[in-house]
């Protein structure tokens, strides 16, 4: 069955903004799979659209919009930026971080996303690479403290088998 490619959302008319920081509220996910051959957990990372893999690895994230729940936003970002579909688990938490591009503090939420479908084509595929890596490799290569903290919470859940 051929999957129809959906266009990535554009614009900021539906964006949510934080009452506490004034910045955008963003939602993201840590896409993961458990390998059949050895039971190892791998995470799917993407590279920055502008800087490529040399800038480190990231997880899909983007603005939480008025017409969706947080987990819907996390799944949408995973589809748009990494070309995967899956099921979200309970939130990994909330972080506030300084935008690198704007004079704003964003409020970010992250969810684990167990990947059920990996698409060959996705909306942002021309601008982003994606790679399956170990949790430790992602930890070593992720430049953002708040994303590494979310990844550590994810790894702790995996260790506690609470996925």
- pLDDT single digits (tens) 86-98: 999 999 999 999 8
User: What's the length of the chain?
Assistant: 163
pLDDT band for position 49 (50/70/90)?
Answer: low
Nearest to 88 by CA among 73, 75, 76: 75
Q: Phi then psi for 138, rounded to 5 degrees? A: -60, -40
Whole-number mean pLDDT of the chain? 88
Provide the residue ranges of all domains of the chain, joining segments of one domain with +.
Answer: 25-159
Q: What is the rounded radius of gyration, in angstroms, for the C-alpha atoms of the chain?
A: 15
Among residues of the chain, what percentage have pLDDT more than 70? 87
Give the span between the Cα atoms of 18 and 22, in whole angstroms: 5
The answer, yes or no, to whether residue 149 has pLDDT greater than 60, is yes
Are 127 and 52 a contacting pair, CB within 8 Å? no
- Domain 25-159 in CATH: superfamily? Nucleoside Triphosphate Pyrophosphohydrolase (3.90.79.10)
Residue 9 has pLDDT above 60, yes or no: no
- The mean pLDDT of 32-39, rounded to a whole number, is 89
Examine the pLDDT at 50 and tell me if it is beyond 90. Answer: no
pLDDT for 2 equals 43
What does the pLDDT look like over 54-84, one tens digit per residue? 567 899 999 999 999 999 999 999 999 999 9
Predicted model pTM = 0.87
Give the pLDDT score at 1: 40
- Any idea which residue has 């300084």 for tokens? 98
Q: Is 19 exposed, middle or buried, given 0-12, 13-18 or 19+ CB atoms closer than 10 A?
A: exposed
């Amino acid at each position: 069955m051929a999957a129809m490619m959906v266009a990535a959302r554009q614009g900021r008319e539906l964006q949510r903004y934080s009452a506490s920081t004034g910045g955008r509220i963003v939602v993201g996910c840590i896409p993961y799979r458990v390998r059949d051959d050895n039971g190892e957990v791998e995470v799917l990372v993407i590279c920055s659209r502008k800087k490529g893999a040399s800038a480190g690895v990231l997880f899909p994230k983007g603005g939480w919009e008025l017409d969706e729940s947080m987990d819907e936003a996390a799944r949408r970002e995973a589809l748009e930026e990494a070309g995967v579909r899956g099921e979200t688990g309970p939130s990994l938490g909330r972080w506030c971080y300084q935008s690198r591009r704007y004079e704003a503090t964003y409020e970010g939420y992250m969810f684990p996303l167990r990947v059920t479908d990996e698409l060959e084509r996705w909306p942002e595929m021309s601008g982003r690479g994606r790679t399956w890596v170990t949790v430790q490799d992602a930890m070593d290569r992720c430049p953002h403290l708040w994303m590494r903290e979310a990844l550590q919470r994810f790894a702790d859940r995996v260790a506690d088998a609470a996925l």
